[in-house]
Amino acid sequence: MAENEEILIKKAGRGDLEAFSSLVQAHQGAIRAYLIVRLGDKHEADDLAQDVFVTAHERLDTLNEGQPFGAWLRRIALNHYRNHRRKFRAMPVGGNADLQILVDQTVEQQAGTLEEPETLGALRDCLARMDGPARSLLHERYVLGHTVREISKAMDRGYSALTMQLHRLRQTLADCIRTKVPSLSVK
Amino acid sequence: MSPDARADELKYALLSGELNTEGADELLALFRQRPDLLVEVSSSIAMDRILGLASEPEEETDAFSREILERIALRAQRKDRFGKSVSRRLEPRAARWKRLALPAAAALVLFAGLGWFLRTDRALARVHSLADVAWTRDSTLVAGAALERDSRVEIGSGLLELALPGRGHVVLEGPASLSLHGKKDFSLTTGRAVFVVTPGGHGLAVRTPHGTAVDLGTCFALEVGEDSTELHVLEGRVTFEPPTGGITDMRAGQALRSEADEVVAIATDGGRFVRSVPTARRDTDGSWSWPCDEGFGMQTRTSDPAHAMRFKGADPGSAAPTWTTRSDSPAIEFDGAGAYAQSDFAGLAGSEPRTVALWVRVPEDWSPQDGGSLIAWGRPEWQQPGHFFELTLNRDPALGPIGAPQLDVSQHRVTAGIDLRDGEWHHLTVVTCQADESSSRTDVLIYLDGNLVSSYPRHVPRIDTQLGGNRHAVLLGRSLRSVNVTEPPSQDFFRGAVDDVFIGSGILSSSGIKGLMMGIRPAVR
């Protein structure tokens, strides 16, 4: 654990909210990524991520000295995620529950590398390098939040072609992340 | 179709969410045969989910962090007896609404998009600005939200400014309820409202249970209570017609009260009413803060070492400030007998909007014989209105409760309605803003523990803080009245404690002030 982070944890434990705010800023990306990849819904994931930090704040006194804060947060996130799954079971993909379970399990395995703070930063860098039609498409889909169907209509392009292009762009971005953070094995 | 082409077709159908039951069965079988395809698709799904997060604007990330801290603070507030003493001093009805302030602030964020979406040309009015508004109905409006015909606005507390396109604006002070029937047809069933009407709005009528006011080119204020309505004409002309009939023609400087069966002339009092609500903004001049976290030594630092606040005694026999605590963190104690602190930072000049905040603890036995100056800067020129800026405690019962926060800008003072003498820590914020470029009026908002509190008057003539010529610059715990005096009296030195001092150029919103309470200082552009 970075020395700076240890000091922040100690201060936060003494009730210093500014110090806790710095910890939130440093780890929010990883925790939100951890949950969003598993849940698939950004709002649901953000609500749960907030619960994670509120719980962490309440239980700061249980964090042992020298214990990695990020890993400790992820354990809290995992507990919240499991409780959430117990309460709200996902709808099957295309009506097939077995397929849903299989995809969920595999996505969760893939998630391990995507939730690292370095990955999110690398992904932002990779996104910044995109230009031309690819950048426009990613902007429409992920910044403006339009559905593929809406983009298809607005751009007057085939729905299947757009789905395919987005899939390829995601693969390109995964390759880009691998280049930037070689220690991560994004497949 | 080749097996590979069919696999692609199924894969893309899954990724686009359009896979049917038969396709799902087929793809499941395919995944079991080809784990590489399953990994490829799952990786794409994971990337799809995280891309939204990576693409979000910085403000959204800030809002996420802020909401967490607000939740933590809210929990702490519920557990802590901290707020109880303040609540006792607030009116019961107002207190109920103020407890809703944080959830309302969160709701404002959630409804932001909706508010903008609702903007249409059919709008009779639009929300221009808000300060610490607690809503009493299901709907929550944000700046920019449109109000159409027959809509009603109800607020429990706080200030809300509605722009009336082409007709002027109205400022509503909660608790209040205003209905919009037409472009020039309103009704105010309870609360205070100030109508600033431009020529395009002449003829605008406001119905109340005790009569109707009709604008003839003016600025007027209405206060509707259970048994009576007061009308104060601040500028121009207004007519008033009570339910019993008979029209009264009124001019600037005149006021009346209409009750069940009579209309009586009363003294006009424009100082009670707020004529505009400042819009939150951050200016480029930046902000300065003294967290007071050292707990030892004879100074407290800020980000610029040159502007440290150094502890002093007024004369060789006086003690310097000492260290005390607030929630286990260091804070500064002033003895009221000559202890003070000073910085080389000159303070903010002119009439630019500003936000000044600090934590303060006033002893229960504090009396008008004690000093109340919390923070001060500018030239101590008593005959020149607005030439200095001093946040102090009231010592004159004619101006408001003893021990209440007071802004003194030489010749003019604004005093809040709440006495702080309870020995507890309170967060105090003062926001000042010139109403507009040409205006000679500066609006003053005072927040206590994150809530907007009533004050009198609500504005002062233009603040024009003069810097230079004052060797003391920003002072903590010492009045500017003492700086040119050989043996200043103890009344010029604050008795009590302060912590986490903030001076910011610009206007902080009520949610920004709540953030400040939690130790989140606004970023400086």
Is the Cβ pair B54, A127 closer than 8 Å? yes
The pLDDT, as a whole number, for residue B285 is 57
The pLDDT, as a whole number, for residue B122 is 56
- The answer to whether residue B330 neighbours chain A at the CB level (below 8 Å) is no
- The answer to whether residue B329 neighbours chain A at the CB level (below 8 Å) is yes
Is the Cβ pair A49, B64 closer than 8 Å? yes
Higher-confidence residue: B171 or B39? Answer: B171
Cα A101 to chain centroid distance, Å, stands at 20
Strands, E, within B307-404: which ranges?
Answer: 309-313, 322-326, 329-335, 339-342, 354-361, 375-378, 388-393
Rounded mean pLDDT, B362-385? 89
Percent of chain B with pLDDT over 70: 86
The whole-angstrom separation of Cα B111 and Cα B105 is 10
Of A78-82, B55-59, B130-134, B521-525, the one with minimum mean pLDDT is B521-525
- The answer to whether residue A6 neighbours chain B at the CB level (below 8 Å) is no
The whole-angstrom separation of Cα B54 and Cα B106 is 23
Q: Is the pLDDT of residue B189 over 60?
A: yes
Q: Is the pLDDT of residue B109 over 50?
A: no
* ipTM > 0.95, yes or no: no
- The answer to whether residue B43 neighbours chain A at the CB level (below 8 Å) is yes
**Choosing among B19, B37, B68, which should be mutated to test the A contact, i.e. which has the most A CBs within 10 A?**
B68
The whole-angstrom separation of Cα B136 and Cα B155 is 5
Contacting B residues, span 68-107, partner chain A, CB-CB under 8 Å = 68-69, 71-73, 75
The pLDDT, as a whole number, for residue A145 is 76
The pLDDT, as a whole number, for residue B205 is 94
The whole-angstrom separation of Cα B510 and Cα B451 is 7
Residue B335 backbone dihedrals phi, psi, to 5 degrees: -90, -5
CA distance B328 to chain A (A): 7
Q: Is the pLDDT of residue A141 over 80?
A: yes
Is the Cβ pair A94, B65 closer than 8 Å? no
Confidence of residue B393 (pLDDT cuts 50, 70, 90): very high
Of A36-40, A117-121, B173-177, B396-400, the one with minimum mean pLDDT is A117-121
Q: Convert the pLDDT of each residue in A5-31 to its tens digit.
A: 888 888 888 888 878 888 898 888 889
Residue partners of A83: CB distance under 8 A and separation at least 6 = none
Is the Cβ pair B520, A37 closer than 8 Å? no
- The answer to whether residue B41 neighbours chain A at the CB level (below 8 Å) is yes
Rounded mean pLDDT, B257-277? 88
Rounded mean pLDDT, B35-47? 87
- The answer to whether residue B15 neighbours chain A at the CB level (below 8 Å) is yes
The pLDDT, as a whole number, for residue B120 is 35
Q: Is the pLDDT of residue B305 over 80?
A: no
The pLDDT, as a whole number, for residue A128 is 82
- The answer to whether residue B523 neighbours chain A at the CB level (below 8 Å) is no
Contacting residues of A for B42, CB less than 8 Å apart = 103, 106-107, 109-110
- The answer to whether residue B30 neighbours chain A at the CB level (below 8 Å) is no
Is the Cβ pair B51, A142 closer than 8 Å? yes
Q: Is the pLDDT of residue B178 over 60?
A: yes
Q: Which of B423, B367, B447 shows the shortest CA–CA distance to B90? A: B447
Q: What mean pLDDT is reported for chain B?
A: 83
Q: Of the candidates B44, B55, B67, which has its C-beta nearest A50's C-beta? A: B67
Q: Convert the pLDDT of each residue in B463-494 to its tens digit.
A: 888 887 656 689 999 998 887 777 777 789 99
Rounded mean pLDDT, B78-98? 45
Confidence of residue B330 (pLDDT cuts 50, 70, 90): very high
Q: Convert the pLDDT of each residue in B210-240 to its tens digit.
A: 999 999 878 999 999 999 999 999 988 999 9
Percent of chain B with pLDDT over 90: 36
- Most confident of the following: A162-171, B64-73, B132-141: A162-171
The pLDDT, as a whole number, for residue B95 is 44
Q: Which residues pair with B442 in a beta bridge?
A: B434, B460
Q: Convert the pLDDT of each residue in A78-122 to its tens digit.
A: 888 888 877 665 544 445 778 888 888 888 877 766 667 677 888
Q: Is the pLDDT of residue B433 over 80?
A: yes
Q: Which of B460, B495, B444 shows the shortest CA–CA distance to B332? A: B495
Rounded mean pLDDT, B67-83? 68
CA distance A77 to chain B (A): 15
Q: Is the pLDDT of residue B421 over 90?
A: yes
Nearest residue in A to B56, CA atom? A143
Q: Is the pLDDT of residue B24 over 60?
A: yes
DSSP, collapsed to helix, strand or coil, labels residue A81 as helix
Higher-confidence residue: A115 or B67? Answer: B67
Q: Is the pLDDT of residue B265 over 80?
A: yes
Residue A49 corresponds to which tokens in the numbers above? 């991520």
Is the Cβ pair A96, B25 closer than 8 Å? yes
Long-range contacts of A38-41 (CB under 8 A, 24+ apart): A38/A81, A38/A104, A38/A107, A38/A108, A38/A111, A39/A81, A39/A84, A40/A90, A40/B45, A40/B49
Is the Cβ pair B50, A36 closer than 8 Å? yes
Rounded mean pLDDT, B363-381? 91
| Total-model pTM | 0.58
**Choosing among A25, A37, A137, which should be mutated to test the B contact, i.e. which has the most B CBs within 10 A?**
A37
The pLDDT, as a whole number, for residue B185 is 93
Q: What count of CB pairs under 8 Å joins A to B?
A: 161
Q: Of the candidates B15, B61, B518, which has its C-beta nearest A167's C-beta? A: B15
Is the Cβ pair B47, A40 closer than 8 Å? no
The pLDDT, as a whole number, for residue B390 is 94
**Choosing among A16, A37, A99, which should be mutated to test the B contact, i.e. which has the most B CBs within 10 A?**
A99
Rounded mean pLDDT, B417-428? 95
